[in-house]
């Protein structure tokens, strides 16, 4: 198990890459192994966060800086699009710029949060990292995007929820510092999924009923038998593929996976709180960012949330904040309570 205090977090579950490294073609095995090695390097190092530049920062507006590693393993690389500059014509550059901005706007317009640190932190991204790199990464300082291998995975800038997921790891790191292991780590991953999918829904103006609740839907090529890397609506059903294997996420505590791999299954058991959020959101008619999202956000930022919190501790805080925001007998609190009960976290 790697150090749970390391802040660097990658989107791609290690068990997926390990499966490709074992079952893929010669080329795919090489791509997966190189990605795993690069991910290990990031986890061992991390990076200091960039500070707000008073000369350029404007409260309520993002400060984006997109670089290209030009298929090398250097960071941040060459600056290719700065804040306010027109589109570059490079899809990876322009997608990174757009979705970093969409994530900033979501946090600002919904929660009045000024960037990841709430102090106007610049949003730095590097695209075209290495060759055939099958991941996107938050390293404590910036986003890093691979182009994918082109056979199983497309470029990692194509999915807005992936970018928002990784930036949310930065929010979690600063607000509560949940350790990246066991139930606390799975909760960390789940919160990143929750706010990742909320950014996607907010940008598209989708209701909970109309949304697909998929994480990484734009990443998979047509060669993969699957919809995405994860489904918040139906954990365990996102993919079933000869190379990738079958989605291992449980949707109920009775199927909780005890493992030493992946820091105690942080990318696997996150399916349980993910489904709880989905259930609470669809039980209500309002957009998820208007009612359930603020409840989860308040619970995530609550000083009572321990760095080692388990699912039950977080569930209790969501119930507390649903009651504070909407009342003890409210439909909103009842929806949150029933959601946690349905996934077996609350009895």
Segment-wise mean pLDDT, segments of 10 residues, the chain, 347 residues = 53 94 97 89 62 76 97 94 97 98 98 96 96 92 95 97 95 93 97 98 97 96 97 98 97 97 95 98 96 98 97 98 98 98 97
**Domain contains 2:** no
Looking at the fold, whether 186 and 327 belong to one and the same domain comes out as yes
Q: How far is CA 252 from the centre of its chain?
A: 21
Do residue 133 and residue 187 come from a single domain? no
In a domain, 153, yes or no: yes
Residue 129's CB is within 10 A of a number of other CB atoms, namely 28
What is the pLDDT, as a whole number, of residue 164?
97
**Which domain range does residue 216 map to?**
182-342
- Cα–Cα distances in angstroms (integers) from residue 18 to residues 33, 48, 111, 318, 342, in the given order: 8, 29, 38, 35, 32
Of 120, 151, 175, at which residue does a domain stop?
175
The verdict on 290 and 220 lying in the same domain is yes
| pLDDT the model gives residue 43 | 60
**What is the number of domains present in the chain?**
2
Residues 163 and 189 in one domain: no
3-class DSSP assignment, residue 58: strand
Contact by Cβ (8 Å): 86, 78: no
165 given a catalytic annotation: no
Domain boundary among 130, 152, 175: 175
Assigned domain for 347 exists:
no
Q: Give the pLDDT of residue 54.
A: 67
Model pTM score: 0.94
Q: Is residue 308 part of a domain?
A: yes
267 annotated active-site: yes
Catalytic annotation, pick one of 67, 128, 267, 326: 267
- Please report, for the domain that includes residue 305, its CATH number: 1.10.390.10
Q: What is the pLDDT of residue 238?
A: 98
Q: Quick one: pLDDT at residue 65?
A: 97
Q: Does residue 190 share a domain with residue 132? A: no
Residues 27 and 73 occupy one common structural domain: yes
Question: Is 4 part of a structural domain of the chain?
Answer: no
- pLDDT at residue 224 in the model: 97
Report the distance separating Cα 191 and Cα 177, nearest Å: 12
- Active-site residue among 83, 151, 166, 189? 166
Burial pattern 227-249, b for ≥16 Cβ within 10 A else e, equals bbbbbbbbbbbbbebebbbebbb
Under DSSP, the state recorded for 87 is P
């Amino acid at each position: 198990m790697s150090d749970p205090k390391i802040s660097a977090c990658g989107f791609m579950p290690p068990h997926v890459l390990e499966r490709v490294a074992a079952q893929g073609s010669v080329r795919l095995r090489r791509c997966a192994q190189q990605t795993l090695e690069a991910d290990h390097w990031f986890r061992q190092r991390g990076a200091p966060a960039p500070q707000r530049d008073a000369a350029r920062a404007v409260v309520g507006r993002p400060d984006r800086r997109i670089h290209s590693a030009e298929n090398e393993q250097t960071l941040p690389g060459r600056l290719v699009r700065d804040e306010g500059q027109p589109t570059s014509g490079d899809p990876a550059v322009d997608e990174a710029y757009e979705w970093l901005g969409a994530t900033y706007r979501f946090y600002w317009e919904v929660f009045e949060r000024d960037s990841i640190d709430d102090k106007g932190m610049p949003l730095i991204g590097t695209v075209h990292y290495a060759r055939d790199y099958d991941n996107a990464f938050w390293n404590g300082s910036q986003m890093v995007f691979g182009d994918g291998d082109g056979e199983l995975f497309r470029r990692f800038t194509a999915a807005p929820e992936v970018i928002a997921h990784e930036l949310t790891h930065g929010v979690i790191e600063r607000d509560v510092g949940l350790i990246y292991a066991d139930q606390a780590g799975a909760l960390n991953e789940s919160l990143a999924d929750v706010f990742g999918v909320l950014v996607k829904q907010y940008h598209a103006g989708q209701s909970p009923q109309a949304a697909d609740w998929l994480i990484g839907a734009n990443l998979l090529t047509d060669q993969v038998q699957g919809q995405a890397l994860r489904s918040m609506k139906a954990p365990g059903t996102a993919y079933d593929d000869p190379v990738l294997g079958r989605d291992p996420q449980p949707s109920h505590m009775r199927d909780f996976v005890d493992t030493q791999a992946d820091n105690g299954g942080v990318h696997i058991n996150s399916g349980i709180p993910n489904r709880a959020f989905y259930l609470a959101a669809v039980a209500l008619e309002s957009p998820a960012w208007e009612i359930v999202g603020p409840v989860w956000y308040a619970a995530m930022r609550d000083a009572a949330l321990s760095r080692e919190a388990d699912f039950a501790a977080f569930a209790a805080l969501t119930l507390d904040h649903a009651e504070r925001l909407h009342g003890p007998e409210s439909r909103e609190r009842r929806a949150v309570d029933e959601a946690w009960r349905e996934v077996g976290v609350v009895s």
